[in-house]
Amino acid sequence: MELVLVVLAAASAARYLTRHPLTGSTAWVLVAALVFAGVYLAGRAVPPTRRDAWLAAVCLVWLGLVVAAPSFGWCAVALGFAALRVLPYRAAVAVVVALVTAVSGTWLRLSDPLDPTLVVGPACLAVLAVGAYRALERHAAAQQAVLQDLHRAQDELAAAQRRQGALAERHRLSREIHDSVAQDLSSINLLLQASEQDWSLRPTAARQHVQQAATTARNGLSEVRRVVHDLGPDTPPDSSLTDVLQQLAGEVTGQSGLAVSVQTSGTVLPLPQQVATALLRTARGALANVVEHADATRAVVTVSYLDDSVSLDVRDDGRGLPPPTSRPPSRHGQGQDDRGRDDRGPYERRREERHRDGRGLGLWAIRDRIEGLGGQLVVESTPGHGTALAATLPLSPSAPGALARWPG
């Protein structure tokens, strides 16, 4: 706009000089043109709160100039856009109407006979300019609204991601605690119960149970410190999964009397740390469930290495899982007969107690961990014929969902 006004002012001054001799009045017109251009260009330094006063001064200088020299009427184009930029829409339209009226009036004084284009031309030009500016202004406002909506959506997405991250971290901590501290506490409980039974008749065995409980407690304390420190992996970098599983089998056998053997099939491959940790914790959780609930005498842990995956199978010869009951609850309540008596079996009551007091998280934690690494978990069981748990994990992080979603 500043460049356009300077060009229009220079062209208008040149046109005025071609039609008027160089006299004193002509010099005053040229001085007024310089003042008009200077005042307009000075608007760059005017603060926003004073730009309406600046616009009024520019319009007054231009009005005096156009009365003396109608050639400067073309400068109204720049003044009209300045009004649209500085003033509110209605006030700017009023200023544009006044500028068009002044231009048409000064040009009509020089027209003989009356030329209607001197009225229609500036009016149409003003309508087009105001309409185009208004359309651009509305488009800019719409873009700004879209941008604000985008910012709000980004903020909401970031908040949702933070909530999801916090929830995932809570799930991870739940798995960590269940697979480390809870298992150690369960072992300590079993050892202390065994020592209490052998305290009078077999004091040597009772002392051994207490010593094992103390060792397990120290291991549990170390595990708690590890979880609190950095929630690091269970397997050290220089230990293979088979070695750690052999150590785990020995601990379970020594604490509970359950005969646990470890087998390996396929070519042993180096495992990603997340995969090895997940398989180890799966084995720990599965064996803990066998010791506590299955009444088994033997369990076999098998690690199978395939081309692009590794699987862990835990099989026992226990009583198996009970079949799901399809009996609907009576009107007296879940598991009660018509007289309000609890007609559930002892295993069903024990299973409900485990879920109620928080001990039913083992299978959930195992499934959540395996599926979080892009793997699959299958549990097969027949009442009286044991239970088989099979967990399969991909070896490559490029597999769908593998490792990418694992927070640990």
Per-residue pLDDT of the chain (408 residues), as tens digits, is 888 888 988 888 888 888 877 777 788 888 888 988 888 888 888 888 888 898 899 889 888 888 888 888 888 888 888 888 888 888 888 888 888 888 888 887 777 677 787 788 888 888 888 888 888 888 998 999 999 999 999 888 888 887 887 787 677 677 667 766 777 788 888 888 888 888 888 888 888 888 888 888 877 777 676 666 545 444 444 467 888 899 888 888 887 888 999 999 988 888 888 888 889 888 988 888 888 888 889 999 999 998 889 999 999 998 887 765 544 444 344 444 444 444 444 434 444 444 444 444 567 778 888 888 889 999 998 888 889 999 999 987 544 444 333 333
d(CA 209, CA 203) in angstroms, rounded, equals 10
Residue type, position 259, single letter:
A
Using alpha carbons, select from 108, 80, 104, 105 the residue that is nearest to residue 94.
Answer: 80
Please list the residues that pair with 330 across neighbouring strands: 333
Is the full-model pTM beyond 0.85? no
How many Å separate Cα 37 from the centre of its chain?
55
Please list the residues that pair with 405 across neighbouring strands: none
Phi, psi at residue 303, to the nearest 5°? -110, 120
d(CA 295, CA 283) in angstroms, rounded, equals 17
pLDDT at 228: 65
pLDDT at 148: 92
pLDDT at 254: 83
Tokens of 37: 């251009």
53 contact partners, CB below 8 Å, separation of at least 6: none
CA of 290: how far to CAs of 217, 344, 352, in Å? 21, 22, 17
Tokens of 16: 């005025």
d(CA 304, CA 310) in angstroms, rounded, equals 6
